[in-house]
Amino acid sequence: MNAPIRPWTLIGTIDDIPAQGARCVKMGGMTIAVFRTADDRVFALEDKCPHKHGPLSQGIVHDGCVTCPLHNWVISLETGTAQGADEGRTETFPIRLEGRAIYLSLPR
């Protein structure tokens, strides 16, 4: 069945995030980057580039991807995988938009 294994948490509204931008959600030691695209889709990735752990939340968002601010790897927001010739993957988290409210399913 499709029911989430983890509870959904309301983290804010889409207006808290600039279009083509990101904000962070802190969970103890972990940071999750929540992205908003130009067409108002939202994605959640661990804020850690598969290359050298650059903070993806600080990158430029474009085309459903984010370019890491440290060495320009391009990471897919949907799958968390590095694009082009680079190889690696960042963890993604289930996220859901209800109206303007954003719910994130946080890992325990």
Partner 1 sequence: MTSKPERLVIVGNGMAPGRMLEHLFEAAPGAFEVTIFNAEPRVNYDRIMLSPVLSGEKNYDDIIIHGDDWYARHGVTLHRGQKVVAIDRATRTVTSEGGVTAEYDKLVIATGSNPFIIPVPGNMLPGVLAYRDLDDVDQMLAATRAGGRAVVIGGGLLGLEAAAGLKAQGMEVTVVHLMPTLMERQLDPAAGYLLQKALEDRGIEVRCGANTKAILGHDRVTGVELADGSVLDCSLVVMAVGIRPNVALAQAAGLEVGRGIVVDAGMRTSDPNIWSVGECAEVGGQVYGLVAPLYEMARVAAGHLAGPSDAAFRHSETPTKLKVTGINLYSVGDFAEGPDREEIVLRDARRGLYKRVILRDDRIIGAVLYGETDDGGWFNELMKKGEDISDMRDTLIFGQAHQGGGSFDPVAAVAALPDDAEICGCNGICKGQITGAIKDRGLTTLDEVRAHTKASASCGTCTGLVENLMAAVLGDAFAAGAVKPMCGCTTLPHGDVRRLIKAKELKTIPAVMQELEWSTSGGCAKCRPALNYYLLSDWPGEYVDDGQSRYINERVHANIQKDGTYSVVPRMWGGMTTADELRAIADVTDKYAIPAVKVTGGQRIDLLGVRKEDLPGVWEDLGKAGFVSGHAYSKGLRTVKTCVGSTWCRFGTQDSTGLGIKLEKFLWGSWTPAKVKFAVSGCPRNCAEATCKDVGVICVDSGYEIHFAGAAGLEIKGTAVLGHVKTEEEVIEVSAALMQMYREQGFYLERIYKWADRVGHDEVRRQVLHDVESRKRWFDRFVHSQKFAQVDPWSERVSGKDKHEFKPMFETVLEPAE
Please give the residue ranges that form the binding site for partner 1 (CB under 8 A).
Answer: 9, 11-12, 16-21, 23-28, 31, 34, 37-39, 52-55, 58-63, 67, 69-70, 72, 74, 84-85, 104, 106
Token pair, residue 87, equals: 């190889």
- Would you say 54 or 80 has its CB closer to ligand FES? 54
How many alpha carbons fall within 13 Å on the CB side of residue 41?
A: 11
Q: How far is the CB of 59 from ligand FES (least distance, A)?
A: 8
Q: How far is the CB of 55 from ligand FES (least distance, A)?
A: 9
**Rg of the chain over all Cα atoms, to the nearest angstrom:** 13
The Cα 40–Cα 51 span in angstroms is 27
